[in-house]
Amino acid sequence: MNLKGRDFINLEDFTKEELHELIDLAAELKAKIKNGEQIDICKNKTLLMYFEKPSLRTRLSFETGINKLGGSALFITKAEIDPGKRESIEDTARVMSKFVDALTIRTFAHSDVEKFAKWSSVPVINALTDKSHPCQIMADILTIKEYFNDVKGKKLAYVGDGNNVLHSLLIGCSMFGINIAVATPEGYEAPEDAVALAKKFAGETGSKVEIFRDAKDAVKGANVIYTDTWTSMGQEDEANIRRIVFRNYQVNDDLVALADKNHIVMHCLPAHKGEEIDADTFEKYAEPLFNQAENRRYAQMAVMAAIM
């Protein structure tokens, strides 16, 4: 696998084989870190992180991840450089490229990350846009692999908002042969382009993509019950209405009881307990939930090691 210089913006930009190799590399790097081994794949390399939205996991996992690879990170926010206002994205990206070896970008508009990639001469990693969250899903696949060994043929049920995380989950699951069942309320469905792409990949990997209205229908027999916030960053004005629309889409013990007996609950976090997930249910699955968060680091270390 030679991915040097490639951007990591959409999962579908990579072949299934390349994504499998990245997951294997992530598991290998995790084992080495747990073993206290020194890794210097990115020695003397610098990652610049530009974030327009808040972050806990993504920032910590990228920063500690590049450090563990022997490199270093710089973090910069919109308040400092305001791309598109203070200076065009075209020029910002070209300046950044003169100083660092890769960019990790979290924006509202997906097209802004694409624009950074177009004008940057160093690789660009999508750290979440309003459309997708590919790094999250790489960590999720690694997590599912750890709990179930072989991911192919397992069933993931996603309950909640048809958002950026679901977009990437549909594509990631179908590329890895994981059956995905989705339940969303009317008006908040999974993005159509992601469903179409997922169906194409599912045809190639022999997996299923199922779309439901009722959360119970999606969760039946699932090995992974996955949810995300009802209100994503940037949608705060809709929070009250969303609390009403999504009230039947909470992951709780009653819903989880319909899953396969061999199951885990996942959430990209941050969680809003009492909304998309019940607080007691959350605690019962704290182990996989926080392993999932930790795996962000190893998944992204694999991506950085491969492209930088």
Pairing of the two strands 155-159 and 179-183: parallel
User: How does 134-168 read in b/e, with b if 16+ C-beta sit within 10 Å?
Assistant: bbbbbbbbbbbbbbbeebeebbbbbbbbbbbbbbb
Sign, CA dihedral 125-286-251-206, equals positive
Stretch that binds ligand CP, among 38-46, 146-154, 176-184, 263-271 (CB under 6 A): 263-271
* Cα–Cα dist 163/1, whole Å: 31
Catalytic residue list contains 106: yes
**Under rule CB under 6 A, residue 163 binds ligand NVA:** yes
First to last CA, the chain: 13
If the CB atoms of residues 52 and 101 are measured against ligand CP, the closer one turns out to be 52
Catalytic residue list contains 296: yes
Region 56-75 residues binding ligand CP, contact defined as CB under 6 A:
56-58
Region 113-132 residues binding ligand CP, contact defined as CB under 6 A:
128
What does the block give as tokens for 282?
A: 């959350």
Instruction: By CB under 6 A, name the one of 89, 102, 251, 269 that touches ligand CP.
Output: 269
Helices (H), the chain: 16-34, 57-68, 78-81, 89-99, 110-119, 134-148, 164-175, 192-205, 215-219, 239-245, 253-256, 279-284, 286-307
Q: What's the maximum distance between 2 C-alpha atoms anywhere in the chain?
A: 54
**Under rule CB under 6 A, residue 300 binds ligand CP:** no
Catalytic residue list contains 110: no
Stretch that binds ligand CP, among 30-38, 54-62, 86-94, 116-124 (CB under 6 A): 54-62
What does the block give as tokens for 193?
A: 């382009």
Q: What is the CA angle 136-142-145, rounded to 5?
A: 140
Catalytic residue list contains 300: no
Stretch that binds ligand CP, among 10-18, 173-181, 203-211, 267-275 (CB under 6 A): 267-275
If the CB atoms of residues 229 and 292 are measured against ligand NVA, the closer one turns out to be 229
Q: x/- string (CB under 6 A) for ligand NVA, residues 88-127?
A: ----------------------------------------
* Cα–Cα dist 300/125, whole Å: 9
Catalytic residue among 101, 296, 297, 300: 296
If the CB atoms of residues 174 and 229 are measured against ligand NVA, the closer one turns out to be 229
Region 228-267 residues binding ligand NVA, contact defined as CB under 6 A:
228-229, 232-233
Catalytic residue list contains 136: yes
Residues with active-site annotation: 106, 133, 136, 228, 268, 296
Q: Which residues here bind ligand NVA, judged by CB under 6 A? A: 128, 163-165, 228-229, 232-233, 268
